[in-house]
Amino acid sequence: MRIQYSVLLRLCWLPLLLPVVLQAEALRHQVTTQPLGSLWVQPTYSAPATVVQDRIATLSAEVGGQLLQLPQRVGEPVAAGALLAQIDCRHYEFLRQRSETELEALKVQLDFAKQQLQRAESLTTNMAEEQRQQRQMQATLLQVQYQGGAVAVAQAKLDQQHCQITAPYAGVVVANLVAVGELVSPGTPLLRLLPQQRAEVEALVLPDQLALLRESEAIIFSGFNRLYPLQLRAVLPWIEAPGRSQQVRLSFSDAVATPGESGRLEWRSLQHYLPARYLLQREQAYGVMLAVGGKAVFVPLPEALEGRLAALDLALLNAASEVITSGAQLLQNGDLLEITRRDE
């Protein structure tokens, strides 16, 4: 009889407990979550860019004469040391032969003067001393003349060598500036030579984006229907007046674009950001609402501003963090959640 009374008493309490249970269930907020890794973005920046080749050389004549040959055609690759132009060198060959002959004559005179000096030094009379001084002066004068003659021979040989213009490096002839048969003088431009060394990309970047460019591991040049990986080589240490930007130079990592080609420099930030639509404001701070253990947890983002991308601190958050993407507007810390998860 006592057991039946206890059971009856419990049954009487059920109607009173049911609203409490239902109320507890009603306090669970229905939300939708997504992993943070499917929401964050890494912004891409860009700037106009051009492929440049600074070392296009204009090769000029160093001696005068008639141009006899331009053996390399425009567009043909040439090896270092290859003949690019030939100037008529007969005049300079004659000058060399004459200089060598004059030098040989001076050598004979100098050798004879030295013999005479040695003979005068062997005499001991007063007249011999005067003679010795004269021989010494004559030998010294001939020595100076001989040295000048040696310089003239060296200059004549150099002029003769300058009749042939050779490639200072491997490259491609991009323009012939004179025609065979023309008379040229020292300083006359003959041709232009493009080196085969790698070209570079030149671009102007805003100063506040330079840090992002330096940190980026994914820099490309977007050219004519092709992407070229790049590496930052240098930032020029001054700000250009137009646009208040700084010039940067970047090297090609692999394939090289054609000098003169225009395109865009593009790079991606290593910093991860949360789009502004997922930000919430709680007590003067902007942040993100997470689902942790079935409860709402507000995580402030110190640098977040309304309507702008918010930088994420991956020391506090990770790709698996569950961000409440729907139903978060009225949530407070600790609210119970009924969660619907989306993978992306």
302-343 pLDDT, tens digit each? 888 888 888 888 888 888 889 988 988 888 888 998 888 887
| Closest alpha carbon to 342 in 28, 25, 37, 27 | 37
pLDDT of 140-198, one tens digit each? 887 888 788 888 888 888 888 888 899 988 889 989 999 999 999 999 999 999 887 77
| Mean pLDDT score of the chain | 83
What percentage of residues in the chain have a pLDDT greater than 90?
A: 31
pLDDT of residue 16: 47
CA distances from 266 to 102, 146, 205, 300 (A): 68, 67, 11, 31
Thinking of the domain 44-54+199-268, which architecture would CATH place it in? Beta Barrel (2.40)
Binned at pLDDT 50, 70 and 90, residue 113 comes out as confident
| Tens-digit pLDDT profile for residues 190-239 | 999 988 777 899 999 998 889 889 988 889 999 888 999 999 999 998 88
More confidently predicted of 281 and 94: 281
CATH class of 25-41+273-341: mainly beta
**Tokens 């070209």 sit at which residue?**
199
The pTM assigned to this predicted structure is 0.57
Pairing state between β 65-69 and 183-184: antiparallel
